[in-house]
Amino acid sequence: MVKLNKIYTRTGDDGTTGLAIGPRRLKSDLRIEAFGAIDETNSAIGLAILHCAERVELAAALRRIQNDLFDLGADLATPETGEPLAWEPLRILPAQVAWLEGEIDRLNDGLTPLNSFILPGGSALSAHLHMARTIARRAERVMVALRDGQQEIVNAEALKYVNRLSDYLFVASRHANQDGRDDILWVPGKNR
């Protein structure tokens, strides 16, 4: 159980933050940037939920995703070093990715087929889901840069999860637009 008694500690006043293990890192470090982008994604999903009054199933799925995103943040905050830990770290698991895939398939089954790219919008719920999707894509890019650029271990399932999440948010945004009927289609060169 997490217990937060004191909100400010002053330990970050020097521009660093602590991970679950290891030395402190600069707040500009890619690992910190990655779980910051995950936190932003979670906040954007929270805003989307405010527009789910009549979509109880979608709201429940989004709340489940919010919880998973805290798991993902914990995963990123506990870097794999190859050294054993005194506890089992929280990691994103294949079952969490599989659940997202099932939700994508379920929502996608009822959607109007696309014949163009769509513009973010249509409804407030859809616009917020698109915003969350774009933030999730940024989180994914930062996680890949952390893995490939800094040669740090990033849980492969966490990377899969955030990739599927952006797909889910795209499909959910179309679902929120009357199963795609209220999508705003991109018209290439329309304003030339």
Q: What is the pLDDT of residues 59-97, one digit of tens each?
A: 999 999 999 999 999 999 998 888 888 889 999 999 999
Q: What is the pLDDT of residue 143?
A: 96
Contact 66, 100 (CB under 8 A): no
Q: Is residue 7 part of a domain?
A: no
CATH number at residue 60: 1.20.1200.10
pLDDT (tens digit, 0 to 9) for every residue of the chain, 192 residues total? 666 666 667 766 777 787 778 788 777 799 999 999 999 999 999 999 999 998 999 999 999 999 999 999 999 999 888 888 888 999 999 999 999 999 999 999 989 888 899 999 999 999 999 999 999 999 999 999 999 988 889 999 999 999 999 999 999 999 999 999 999 999 999 999
pTM of the prediction? 0.92
Is 22 a member of any domain? no
Does 100 reside within a domain?
yes
Closest listed residue to residue 51, CA positions, set 176, 178, 179, 168? 176
How many residues are present in the chain? 192
Q: Is the CB of residue 38 less than 8 Å from the CB of residue 72?
A: yes
The DSSP annotation for 41-97 comes to HHHHHHHHHTT-TT-HHHHHHHHHHHHHHHHHHHHHHS---SSPPSSPPP---HHHH
What residues does 16 pair with on adjacent strands? 26
Distance CA 118, CA 98 (A): 26
The answer to whether position 1 is within a domain reads no
Task: Tell me which residue range forms the domain holding 101.
Answer: 27-79+91-185
Backbone angles phi, psi at 185, to 5 degrees: -85, 140
Q: Is residue 138 part of a domain?
A: yes
Q: Does 97 map to a domain?
A: yes
State the pLDDT at residue 22.
73
Check residue 1 and give its pLDDT: 60
Report how far residue 128's alpha carbon sits from residue 45's, in angstroms, rounded to the nearest whole number: 7
The answer as to whether 3 is a domain residue is no
Total domains, the chain: 1
